[in-house]
């Protein structure tokens, strides 16, 4: 992610809005006025006066963007999420938008591996069997000797590969554009039609953009081999739900989903009871590892902001 060279010259008394109470964030730079807003209730001050805004974590877009829709024109918006699709359209001209690269990689990759192993090794079936006092002996798929295709080979995708390496599987990497890494080639997304038929597991870690919305459509799924597993730890709308349901209900594919479309998945939605699906409630980044990493990021970015240094993790300037 590029550093910012935008106007972040030090201001003697900037106003900073934080989703964490400032008294719980020791080591914040001196100088700014720190105000706490977690997305609940009234604003702590006039949004027009905010200079550095850290949106509340795991809140819906209408909450995250509320200050921006009420006149806030901060110099910096620092999200605590890896993806910025929930705030991107509301960023005012001239505002530097930074994401939380470095905060979620470990936890999200951990869950991607968990969902993959649990699905392949039939853990949901065993849990149901335990509840029913049934002994489901048999031969089940392993991850060893399988081919895993990672779609969206950025920081999270690389962290997923880190955790796959000991499991003796082949990893194929795909990103928006082709490149070489120390681990080998990263294929361009345009090569997916040729790569999908050879993958036993497809793990989605791509950000949600106009280009990736419904990337996993009927054509994408049709190219996956019979019995393959789709794992989504990216964003729900990357997958076209109707097409996925058709493949699940036919029994041809399986899926493990930390994210869905719609989300939260409402009661009665057919995905809940589709055959071969494992669902977790968008908890890829919501672990004990989040808080300390988020706090380190906030302190580091505020130090850069108050001293006029280039910011890290810059996604765009509005």
Residue whose C-alpha is closest to residue 177's, from 166, 185, 169, 168? 185
259: helix, coil or strand? coil
State the catalytic residue, choosing from 187, 235, 254, 304.
235
Q: Can 263 be counted among the known catalytic residues?
A: yes
- DSSP result, 228-254: -EEEE-S-GGGB-HHHHHHHHHHTS-E
CA 74, CA 92: separation in Å to the nearest integer? 8
Q: Can 252 be counted among the known catalytic residues?
A: no
Q: How many helices (H) and strands (E) does the chain have?
A: 9, 14
104: helix, coil or strand? coil
State the catalytic residue, choosing from 187, 282, 293, 304.
282
> Using the 8-state DSSP alphabet, how is residue 240 labeled?
-
Q: Can 133 be counted among the known catalytic residues?
A: no
Distance of CA 205 to the CA centre of its chain: 7
Residue whose C-alpha is closest to residue 113's, from 167, 63, 64, 41? 167
State the catalytic residue, choosing from 33, 110, 263, 309.
263
- Residues labelled catalytic: 235, 263, 282
């Amino acid at each position: 992610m590029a550093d910012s060279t935008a106007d972040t010259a030090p201001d003697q008394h900037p106003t900073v809005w934080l989703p964490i109470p400032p008294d719980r964030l020791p080591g914040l730079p001196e100088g700014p006025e720190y105000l706490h807003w977690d997305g609940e209730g009234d604003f702590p001050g006039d949004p027009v006066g905010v200079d550095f805004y850290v949106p509340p974590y795991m809140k819906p877009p209408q909450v995250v963007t509320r200050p921006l829709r009420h006149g806030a024109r901060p110099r910096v918006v620092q999200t605590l999420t890896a993806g910025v699709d929930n705030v991107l359209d509301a960023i005012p001209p001239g505002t530097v938008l930074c994401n939380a690269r470095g905060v979620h990689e470990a936890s999200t990759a951990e869950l991607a591996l968990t969902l993959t192993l649990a699905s392949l090794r039939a853990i949901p079936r065993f849990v149901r069997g335990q509840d029913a006092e049934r002994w489901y002996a048999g031969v089940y798929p392993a991850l060893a000797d399988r081919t895993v295709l990672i779609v969206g080979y950025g920081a999270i995708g690389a962290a997923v590969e880190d955790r796959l390496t000991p499991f003796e599987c082949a990893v194929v990497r795909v990103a928006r554009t082709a490149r070489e890494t120390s681990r080998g080639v990263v294929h361009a997304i345009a090569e997916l039609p040729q790569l999908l038929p050879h993958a036993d597991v497809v793990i989605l870690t791509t950000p949600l953009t106009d280009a990736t919305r419904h990337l996993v459509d009927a054509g994408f799924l049709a190219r996956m081999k019979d019995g393959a597993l789709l794992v989504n730890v990216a964003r729900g709308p990357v997958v076209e739900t109707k097409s996925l349901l058709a493949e699940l209900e036919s029994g041809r594919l399986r899926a493990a989903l930390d994210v869905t479309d719609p989300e939260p998945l409402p009661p009665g939605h057919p995905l809940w009871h589709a055959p071969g699906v494992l669902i977790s409630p968008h908890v890829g980044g919501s672990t004990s590892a989040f808080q300390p990493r988020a706090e380190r990021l906030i302190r580091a970015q505020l130090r850069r902001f108050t001293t006029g240094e280039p910011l890290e993790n810059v996604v765009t300037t509005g």
